[in-house]
Amino acid sequence: MRSVIGVCAAIAGIAFACPARAVERPPQFVVMAFDNCSELERWRELIDFAAEMNAEGDRLHFTFFVSGINFLSAAHRKLYEGPRHRRGASNIYFGGTPADVRRRVAYVNTVRRAGHEIASHAVGHFNGAGWSAEDWAYEFQTYQRIFDNVARYNTLPDDVKFTFSFGDVVGFRAPYLARNDALYPALAATGFRYDASASNKPSAWPEKRDSLWRFNLARIPVSGLGKRTLSMDYNFLIAQSRGRADPERFALYRDQMLQSYVDYFYANYTGNRAPVHIGHHFSDYQGGAYREALKSFARLVCGLPEVRCVSYRTLADYLDGLSPATLAAYRKGEFPRLGEPSAPATAAVASAATGGVSGN
């Protein structure tokens, strides 16, 4: 198996493979996104990590799919009623105390100012697979009401507010990735530009259907396990340990995830350059092993030549700027490709790999 080290090879050591050339080689986009986004300490951690990554240049921006319930304190839970659910119910915790909500709003404003994206994960984290278009629209309208009235709904001072409008929230990922055909008309009518709730093969370029870009997680091989799972931390938790915490295998699970992400990245980077999609949560799965893997992955690939680690909104902007003919050429791989790195190039960067991680 190709080691993690190999991904950081000096570009001078990479050969070019040239299929029929129709367009210039596209950038390799990498999108790392987070769902739910409740834990306050994780906001601080990721703000600090992104600042570290961007200290010497614009290398990394995240998308945060935030559940609207995070902006409503537990004491005011009755202000929310999800479609087909009782008032005050949610499948995840409400936003804590009003002081917790205030801190979370401040963190959201901080990441927005730093160029990251805030997107929607609906409100109450319910499974909407059986919802109607009207149900979805009602959930989106409820999110906007909470967003626009965050101070009043939590008995906070008037100066507690978002520094951007709800109209700037243009992306969506469904809780549990549970969606149906009724979702898409509601998304389009609400002004969303993309949905990130489905899955596809790793080499698939995004498609735009019904005015919405479809950004899909990938079904990727899990290093060392001989099976595939989605490119998301929760799915690794199920694939590796059937959902159980296993502290004794912390390093194994971390390294398997890192190697799996690197293999996914490398195949696309030297292949047809389809965007790489990775989804995580703020939850402390496997004691933080997956967070360590994601950070190591970002350090390894963000900043490599022709690599852009961006938000989904930025990816949508890029795709909207392409002609149909150019995008069709990208799908077919009709551009000069990067080949396998040479052994000397791989060895030249061995000392730069984070933690010396290798595959299992």
93: left (phi over 0), alpha (psi -120 to 50) or beta: beta
Q: Tell me what the mean pLDDT of segment 303-321 comes to.
A: 98
pLDDT higher than 80, residue 360: no
Q: Residues 137, 139, 140, CA angle at the centre, nearest 5°?
A: 65
Fold for 19-335, please state it.
TIM Barrel (3.20.20)
Count the neighbouring beta carbons within 10 Å of the beta carbon of residue 27. Answer: 15
Question: For the chain, what are the domain ranges?
Answer: 19-335
Query: Helices (H), strands (E): how many in the chain?
Result: 11, 14
SS in 3 state form for 273-320?
CCCEEEEEECCCHHHHHHHHHHHHHHHHHCCCCCEEECCHHHHHHHHH
Cβ-defined contacts of 204-211 (< 8 Å, 24+): 204/274, 205/272, 205/274, 205/275, 205/327, 205/330, 205/331, 206/275, 206/315, 206/319, 208/319, 209/184, 210/184, 210/185
pLDDT in tens, 171-210: 999 999 999 999 999 999 999 999 999 999 999 999 999 9
Give the pLDDT band (50/70/90) at residue 10. Answer: very low
| Nearby residues of 47 by Cβ (< 8 Å), 6 or more positions away | 107, 110, 111, 114
Is the CB of residue 275 less than 8 Å from the CB of residue 31?
A: yes
pLDDT in tens, 239-261: 999 999 999 999 999 999 999 99
Q: What is the pLDDT of residue 165?
A: 97
